[in-house]
Structure 1
Amino acid sequence: MQSNKQEEYIDLRQYWLILKRRWLPASAVFGFVLLLTALVTFLQKPVYQAQGKLLLKRTGSTSTVTGLGKELGQLDSLVDSPESNYPVNTQAEIINSVAFAQRTINELDLKNEQGEPLKIKEFQQRLEVKNIKGTDTLLISYKSTVPEQAQAVVNKLMDSYLRNNMMATRTEAIAARNFIESQLPKSKISVQKAEAQLREFKERNNILDLENEAKAAVTLVTDLENQIAQAQINLANANMRSAALQREIGINVEQAKVINALSQSAGVQKALADYQEVESKLANERSRYQENTPVIADLKLKQASLREVLEKRVQQVFKGQQPLLDQNLQIGELQQKLTEDYVKTEVERIVFNNQLSALSKVYSNYKQRAGIIPQLQQKQRELEREVDAAQSTYATLLKKLEEVRIAENQNVGNAQIVDVGRVAEEPVAPKKLLNFALGGVAGIILAVFIALARDAVDTSIKTLREAKEVLGYTVLGVIPNFDKIDKLNSRNENPEQTLPKIPVKCTPRSMISEIYGMIYANLKFLGSDQELRVITITSAVPKEGKSTVSANLALAIAQLGFKVLLVDADMRSPSQHQFWELGNNKGLSNLIVEQIDLETVVTKVEQNLYVLTSGVLPPNPLAILNSRRMASLVEVFSSSYDFVLIDTPPLSAAADARIIGAMTDGIVMIVQPQLLDTGSAISAKELLEQSSQNVLGMVVNGVCPENEPDSYFYVKEYNTEKDLVTSDINAKDRAKVS
Structure 2
Amino acid sequence: MNNLAFQSAIADEAFPPDRDAGESRPPSQRPWILYYLDIVRRRKWLLVGAVVIAVIIGLVVTLLMTPQYTASSTLEIRRESAGFVGIEGAEPEAAGVDQEFYQTQWGLLESQSLAERVAAQLRLHENAAFFEMFGSDEHAASLRTSPSAADASQRQERIKAAADLLLDNVSIEPERLSRLVTVKFTSPSPAMSMQIVNAWGNAYIETSLERRFEATSYARTFLEERLNQLRDRLQDSERALVSYAGNQRIINIPTSTTTGSDSLAATERPIVAEDLSALNRELNEATGDRIAAESRLRESRGASPEALSNPVITQLRTRRASLASDYAQLTSQFEPEYPAARALADQIAETDRAIAREEARVRASSENAFASAVDRERMLRTRVNSLEADLLDLRGRTIQYNIFQREVDTNRQLYDALLQRYKEVGVAGGVGVNNISIVDPAKLPERPSSPNLVLNILLSIIIGGTIGVALAIALEVIDDTISDPRELGSLLGLPLLGTIPSAESDDPAEELNDPKTPLVEAYLSTLTRLAFTTEHGIPRSLAITSTRPGEGKSTTAYALARQLSRTSGGVVLVDGDMRSPSLHQMFDLANERGLSHYLAGDDHLDSMLHARPDEPTLLLAGPMPPNAAELLTGDRMALLLRELSSRFEYVIIDAPPVMGLADTPLIGSRVEGVVYVVESHETRTSLAQIAVGRLRDSHSRVLGGLLTKFQAQKAHYGYGYDYGYGYGDGRRAESEAA
- For 1:649-688, what aligned pairs fall within 5 Å after superposition? 649-688=656-695
Distance in 2 between the 1:103 and 1:427 partners? 27
1:113 aligns with 2:135: yes
Counterpart residue number, 1:165: 208
Deviation at 1:720, TM superposition (A): 13
SS of match in other structure, 1:605: coil
Counterpart residue number, 2:638: 631
1:503 aligns with 2:517: no
Query: Quick check: which has more Rg, 1 or 2?
Result: 1
Residues 167, 402 of structure 1: alpha-carbon distance in 2 compared, 3 angstrom cutoff = closer
SS of match in other structure, 2:469: helix
1:59 aligns with 2:81: yes
Q: Which runs of 5+ in 1 are unaligned?
A: 202-381, 485-497, 726-738
Distance in 2 between the 1:185 and 1:87 partners? 30
SS of match in other structure, 1:50: strand
Counterpart residue number, 2:96: 80
Counterpart residue number, 1:711: 721
SS of match in other structure, 2:532: helix
1:431 aligns with 2:452: yes
1:100 aligns with 2:114: yes
For these two proteins, the number of residue pairs brought into alignment is 510
Residues 187, 645 of structure 1: alpha-carbon distance in 2 compared, 3 angstrom cutoff = closer
Counterpart residue number, 1:148: 191
Residue type of the alignment partner of 1:176:
A
SS of match in other structure, 1:525: coil
Residue type of the alignment partner of 1:420:
P
1:123 to 144, 161, 166: 166
Q: Which runs of 5+ in 2 are unaligned?
A: 1-23, 140-160, 244-404
1:470 aligns with 2:505: no
Counterpart residue number, 2:698: 691
Residues 680, 606 of structure 1: alpha-carbon distance in 2 compared, 3 angstrom cutoff = farther
Given that 2:82 and 2:433 are in contact with CA atoms closer than 8 Å, whether structure 1 keeps it comes out as: no
Given that 1:52 and 1:139 are in contact with CA atoms closer than 8 Å, whether structure 2 keeps it comes out as: yes
- For 1:297-376, what aligned pairs fall within 5 Å after superposition? none
Distance in 2 between the 1:168 and 1:32 partners? 55
Counterpart residue number, 1:422: 443
Distance in 2 between the 1:609 and 1:520 partners? 16
- Give percent identity, aligned residues only: 25
Counterpart residue number, 2:334: none
Distance in 2 between the 1:102 and 1:685 partners? 77
Residue type of the alignment partner of 1:113:
G
Residues 627, 422 of structure 1: alpha-carbon distance in 2 compared, 3 angstrom cutoff = same
Distance in 2 between the 1:5 and 1:648 partners? 32
Residues 722, 597 of structure 1: alpha-carbon distance in 2 compared, 3 angstrom cutoff = farther
Given that 1:79 and 1:134 are in contact with CA atoms closer than 8 Å, whether structure 2 keeps it comes out as: no
SS of match in other structure, 1:571: coil
Residue type of the alignment partner of 2:54:
V
Distance in 1 between the 2:616 and 2:25 partners? 50
Deviations 1:397-421 (A, max 9, x none): 9x979969975xx875332222211
Residues 404, 464 of structure 1: alpha-carbon distance in 2 compared, 3 angstrom cutoff = closer
Residues 543, 97 of structure 1: alpha-carbon distance in 2 compared, 3 angstrom cutoff = same
Residues 622, 115 of structure 1: alpha-carbon distance in 2 compared, 3 angstrom cutoff = same
Counterpart residue number, 2:558: 551
Name the TM-score, length of structure 2 as normaliser: 0.61
Deviation at 1:465, TM superposition (A): 1.6
Deviations 1:600-620 (A, max 9, x none): 122123435211111111221
Counterpart residue number, 1:482: 503
Given that 2:524 and 2:563 are in contact with CA atoms closer than 8 Å, whether structure 1 keeps it comes out as: yes
Distance in 2 between the 1:87 and 1:447 partners? 46
Residues 139, 19 of structure 1: alpha-carbon distance in 2 compared, 3 angstrom cutoff = closer
Given that 2:521 and 2:726 are in contact with CA atoms closer than 8 Å, whether structure 1 keeps it comes out as: no
1:448 aligns with 2:469: yes
Residues 429, 455 of structure 1: alpha-carbon distance in 2 compared, 3 angstrom cutoff = same
Distance in 2 between the 1:669 and 1:44 partners? 61
Deviation at 1:507, TM superposition (A): 2.0
- For 1:578-597, what aligned pairs fall within 5 Å after superposition? 578-597=585-604
Deviation at 1:569, TM superposition (A): 1.0
Residue type of the alignment partner of 2:81:
T
Deviations 1:520-575 (A, max 9, x none): 34333333337722111111222211011111221221122431111111122211
- For 1:591-630, what aligned pairs fall within 5 Å after superposition? 591-630=598-637
- For 1:161-560, what aligned pairs fall within 5 Å after superposition? 161-179=204-222, 190=232, 407=430, 412-484=433-505, 498-504=506-512, 506-508=513-515, 510-529=517-536, 532-560=539-567
SS of match in other structure, 2:76: strand
Distance in 2 between the 1:516 and 1:605 partners? 21
Structure ranking higher on relative contact order (CA contacts 8 Å, 6+ apart):
2
SS of match in other structure, 1:479: strand
Name the TM-score, length of structure 1 as normaliser: 0.61
Deviation at 1:650, TM superposition (A): 1.2
Counterpart residue number, 2:295: none
Residues 184, 588 of structure 1: alpha-carbon distance in 2 compared, 3 angstrom cutoff = closer
Distance in 1 between the 2:445 and 2:631 partners? 92
Residues 140, 608 of structure 1: alpha-carbon distance in 2 compared, 3 angstrom cutoff = closer
Of 55-64 and 418-427, more deviation after overlay is shown by 55-64
Distance in 1 between the 2:479 and 2:469 partners? 15
SS of match in other structure, 2:612: strand
Q: RMSD of the TM alignment (CA)?
A: 4.2
Counterpart residue number, 1:253: none
Deviations 1:619-655 (A, max 9, x none): 2110011111222111111112121111111111312
Deviation at 1:96, TM superposition (A): 0.3
SS of match in other structure, 1:482: coil
Given that 2:482 and 2:685 are in contact with CA atoms closer than 8 Å, whether structure 1 keeps it comes out as: yes
Deviation at 1:129, TM superposition (A): 1.7
Residues 135, 629 of structure 1: alpha-carbon distance in 2 compared, 3 angstrom cutoff = closer
SS of match in other structure, 2:208: helix
Deviations 1:242-264 (A, max 9, x none): xxxxxxxxxxxxxxxxxxxxxxx
Given that 2:82 and 2:91 are in contact with CA atoms closer than 8 Å, whether structure 1 keeps it comes out as: no
Distance in 1 between the 2:233 and 2:529 partners? 110
Deviation at 1:193, TM superposition (A): 10
Of 28-37 and 713-722, more deviation after overlay is shown by 713-722
Given that 2:584 and 2:590 are in contact with CA atoms closer than 8 Å, whether structure 1 keeps it comes out as: yes
Residue type of the alignment partner of 1:145:
P
Given that 2:577 and 2:654 are in contact with CA atoms closer than 8 Å, whether structure 1 keeps it comes out as: yes
Residues 573, 184 of structure 1: alpha-carbon distance in 2 compared, 3 angstrom cutoff = closer
Counterpart residue number, 1:42: 63
Deviation at 1:49, TM superposition (A): 1.4
Residues 4, 660 of structure 1: alpha-carbon distance in 2 compared, 3 angstrom cutoff = closer
SS of match in other structure, 2:185: strand
Deviation at 1:483, TM superposition (A): 4.2
Residues 12, 541 of structure 1: alpha-carbon distance in 2 compared, 3 angstrom cutoff = farther
